[in-house]
Amino acid sequence: MKRPVAFTVAFLIAAALQILLYKTYIEREIAWSFVFRGDPNWYVFYTYRLFEAVLRRDWAELLFYAKTFPWGMVLFLEAVATQLVFGASRFGMASVNLIYFLIAQWATFAVFRRIGGSPWSGVAAVLLLLAMQTPFRGDGPGLNIVDFHFDLVFFYVFLCIIYLVAWSDSFARRWPSIVIAALAALTVATRLVSFFLLIGIFGAFFLYLLVAWLRARPDEKARSTRRVVNLMLSGVAFLVFCIPAVWIAADAIYAHYFRFIFEEDIRQNRAALYKMGGSMAEEAYQLIRRMLVFDFGWPFVAALAFLAALAGLGWRRRNQSAVPRPQPAGMLGRLWDDHPARATFAGFLVLSIVVSYGMHLVFPIKSDHLTRMTAAPMLVLVVFLAAVPIGRVLEGVGWRRIAGFTSLGLLALVAVGVQLGFYASKGKFADRRADIDKVAEMYGDISKVVHSRGLKAVAISTDKVLTFEYGALLGYYTYEYERHGTLLKWQPQLGDKIDEKISFTQAKQVIDRSDFVLLLEGDYPAKPYWPFMQSVGTFHRELTQHVQDRYCLLGRYHIDGYANALYTRPVSWRVTASASTQKQFGPEGLLGPGGIIWHAPWSANASQTVSFEAPTPVRLKQIRIMAQDQAPGRAPRDFVIEAIDDKGAARIVLNVEGASFDGQQIRIWEIPPAEAARRYRLRVTKNNGDPSFLTIQDMQVELMELACEHGRAVK
């Protein structure tokens, strides 16, 4: 079998084995597990939402998410594309990681085969990659389609190509420089924050080329000029390609990354977030440590030791003198021997590492995602320095060739060990199976209530955000979609905005718009991390009492070392109205989780009604009405609440005249004790002056006694 065919067959066999191992691993470790970290909940949920939006061809929703994703939309769309092939599942969405990992292996072989001038250099480079990387983070599955080492693998593939082009003098060629710009723009669209890092890297490289142009000899001036001009063209093309994606999500980028820098109140709330240490020196150390621990691991350190051994033995120098090398041929010739281009490559590589690392230190937000823009060129450097000498030794003769194949064999053992160790590991959440089962039990209890009440939109509140509670139990919505194929409308309440503090009054308002409330039983964490929890900790007991007075206890669940109590609304109201301006402005959101405003047409001497019916007779204690924001003239002014008996006879339980919402968006009225009824009616005879509309943004009622439809009253 010819050498190129043999290498191709070997690569296909290795890819097939990885696919089989990957499928088994997903089924064993992810199919049954629930996410215990925050970010993965977001990525899984939003990928399902976007998948359904693509099936519906709902371009408006896709544009909405493109505007609201500060991370970038392309990665989600790629995960959607894999689900269109493999089906809507965690296996389907996570397959994008394996695809990119296989692409990275192919690109590594192709690039380093050209760089070293030998297929053995390509093989050694692939084995080094496999020895240091997996499709996921090394600490197990997190179900975050970005945290699955995607940042690092993607940047790595991009840099392999860009270094190849830069090193092979392609910045003296116009179209390859445009291709570089397109790849850089794709990187930005996939990870928007990389825009600032790439601007810094390419800006530094431009200065490097400019200095080289100033120092160039007359016979090198034309070549150096072409490099500078084409890099400028590449920069312009890069901006043209990537600015639209950044512009679309500009507001989200500002809110996610920069708001707390420029706004004093937000900065105070988030003072402890996104920090890696108390000083610049500590953060510099933490950046390196996190790259070693989270991005590379021990094989990277072993590779560094191997490079030190190579340097000590002087293999490269002796090998270069012992084996005759042909002159470079073409743009992708034996690039190792093209010394001027190699110097350009080395300058670009060093600048990429130094500039990105420096930007990480001065950038106010510290994140493991950002470390990968530094880790990627470091990985390329290690592979470059180790793979090419190994490949060259293997092309030699005598003991050097034997030593080379021995090194390659050891490298293969390490690569196989790292990959099998990952795929055969018990997984990150295996030791937490009891917690996972409890989460599943809780989600199942929520699901029963949701289906019995026929809810299409569900609002959940939580008083803490430690693991699975992230996004106000966002994991429940993925559970519901995966188990029942129902994509519920997500209406997060308390616990949604984790990096902003909240007052007791605000907390009660959002609690009262919730279908379910999850509360910690017992002492609240003494040193909560998030600003949201810092504020809730000051009034947690009062908040618990507020919930117990108004909600029914559905169940208790001991999860992640904490005792949790789940509460649900005492009744589910069936709400109708005499009229609505449009279907989407119907009254169904009233007396529920909110988020759906009711608009009704209005004219002089008109009246409108809202009827609400409970499963069993109940007595009303209090009613709260919220006027439309910035439109108090549309709110009710004169109205009555009537109890309707089974024969249709009405009796007034509350009569209000002259209700004004000027200066206050919410008004509350106590309802005198009266007989219980299943059906009530709000009849409005006058609004606050608007000639065209009667509007209620939200309406909630409190009951005299908790007549629990599900669960039981605490007292």
Model pLDDT for residues 523-547, shown as the tens digit of each residue: 888 777 788 888 999 999 999 999 9
- Predicted confidence at residue 317, as pLDDT, reads 47
Give the pLDDT band of residue 145 (cuts 50, 70, 90): very low
* DSSP-based three-state secondary structure for 605: coil
326 and 378 assigned to the same domain: yes
- Predicted confidence at residue 270, as pLDDT, reads 55
15 domain-assigned: no
Q: Is the pLDDT of residue 176 over 90?
A: no
Q: Is the pLDDT of residue 124 over 70?
A: yes
Whether the Cβ atoms of residue 382 and residue 304 lie closer than 8 Å to each other: yes
Give the pLDDT band of residue 29 (cuts 50, 70, 90): low
614 and 631 assigned to the same domain: yes
598 and 561 assigned to the same domain: no
- Model pLDDT for residues 652-670, shown as the tens digit of each residue: 999 999 999 988 888 999 9
- Model pLDDT for residues 436-491, shown as the tens digit of each residue: 889 989 999 999 999 988 888 889 999 998 888 888 888 899 889 988 888 888 88
Exposure string for 652-664, b = 16+ CB within 10 A, e = fewer: ebbebeebebeee
* DSSP-based three-state secondary structure for 308: helix
Whether the Cβ atoms of residue 621 and residue 586 lie closer than 8 Å to each other: no
Q: Which of 428-432, 483-487, 644-648 has the lowest mean pLDDT?
A: 428-432
Q: Is the pLDDT of residue 319 over 50?
A: no
- Model pLDDT for residues 235-251, shown as the tens digit of each residue: 788 888 888 888 998 88
Residues contacting 78, CB < 8 A, separation 6+: 96, 190
- Predicted confidence at residue 594, as pLDDT, reads 60
40 domain-assigned: no
185 domain-assigned: yes
36 domain-assigned: no
- Predicted confidence at residue 155, as pLDDT, reads 62
Q: Is the pLDDT of residue 430 over 80?
A: no
- Predicted confidence at residue 280, as pLDDT, reads 74
The residue from 533, 568, 603 where one domain ends is: 568
* Domain count of the fold of the chain: 3
Residues contacting 134, CB < 8 A, separation 6+: 101, 149, 418, 419, 422
Percent pLDDT > 70 in the chain is: 80
**pTM (two decimals):** 0.80
Structural domain range at position 578: 574-703
As a whole number, mean pLDDT of residues 689-709 equals 87
Give the pLDDT band of residue 214 (cuts 50, 70, 90): confident
The rounded distance, in Å, linking the Cα atoms of 171 and 226 is 7
- Residue type at 403 in one-letter notation: A
The residue from 549, 568, 587 where one domain ends is: 568
524 and 652 assigned to the same domain: no
Whether the Cβ atoms of residue 515 and residue 592 lie closer than 8 Å to each other: yes
- Predicted confidence at residue 325, as pLDDT, reads 44
A 10 A CB-CB count for 227 gives 25
CATH of the domain at 620: 2.60.120.260
Whether the Cβ atoms of residue 82 and residue 92 lie closer than 8 Å to each other: yes
286 and 335 assigned to the same domain: yes
Give the pLDDT band of residue 330 (cuts 50, 70, 90): very low
* Number of helices and strands in the chain (H, E): 24, 16
497 and 482 assigned to the same domain: yes
Residues contacting 311, CB < 8 A, separation 6+: none
542 domain-assigned: yes
The rounded distance, in Å, linking the Cα atoms of 219 and 216 is 8
Nearest Cα neighbor of 210 from 324, 85, 351, 108 is: 351
Rounded mean pLDDT of the chain? 79
Beta strands (DSSP E) in 61-217 are none
515 and 369 assigned to the same domain: no
Nearest Cα neighbor of 72 from 187, 220, 211, 196 is: 187
64 domain-assigned: no
- Predicted confidence at residue 536, as pLDDT, reads 92
Q: When comparing pLDDT for 203 and 346, which is higher?
A: 203
152 domain-assigned: yes
The rounded distance, in Å, linking the Cα atoms of 157 and 300 is 18
Q: Is the pLDDT of residue 320 over 90?
A: no
Whether the Cβ atoms of residue 183 and residue 162 lie closer than 8 Å to each other: yes
* DSSP-based three-state secondary structure for 403: helix
Greatest mean pLDDT range, 198-202, 219-223, 250-254: 250-254
As a whole number, mean pLDDT of residues 38-54 equals 85
- Predicted confidence at residue 328, as pLDDT, reads 39
Q: Is the pLDDT of residue 150 over 60?
A: no
- Predicted confidence at residue 172, as pLDDT, reads 56
The rounded distance, in Å, linking the Cα atoms of 286 and 271 is 18
- Model pLDDT for residues 275-300, shown as the tens digit of each residue: 666 677 887 887 777 777 766 766 67
As a whole number, mean pLDDT of residues 366-392 equals 74
189 and 86 assigned to the same domain: yes
- Model pLDDT for residues 571-629, shown as the tens digit of each residue: 888 888 999 988 878 887 788 766 578 999 998 778 899 999 888 888 998 999 999 98
- Predicted confidence at residue 645, as pLDDT, reads 87
The residue from 541, 568, 595 where one domain ends is: 568
414 and 451 assigned to the same domain: no
217 and 330 assigned to the same domain: yes
Percent pLDDT > 90 in the chain is: 18
Phi, psi of 515 (to 5 degrees): -80, -35
Q: When comparing pLDDT for 510 and 431, which is higher?
A: 510
- Predicted confidence at residue 143, as pLDDT, reads 40
How many CA atoms are closer than 13 Å to the CA of 399, on its beta-carbon side?
2
Strand (E) or helix (H) holding 363: none
511 and 551 assigned to the same domain: yes
* CA distances (Å), origin 279, targets 374, 430, 442, 518, 532: 20, 37, 43, 38, 25
Whether the Cβ atoms of residue 531 and residue 482 lie closer than 8 Å to each other: no
317 and 377 assigned to the same domain: yes
* DSSP-based three-state secondary structure for 656: strand
Give the pLDDT band of residue 84 (cuts 50, 70, 90): very high
Sheet architecture: strand order including 460-462: 460-462, 516-521, 562-568, 552-559
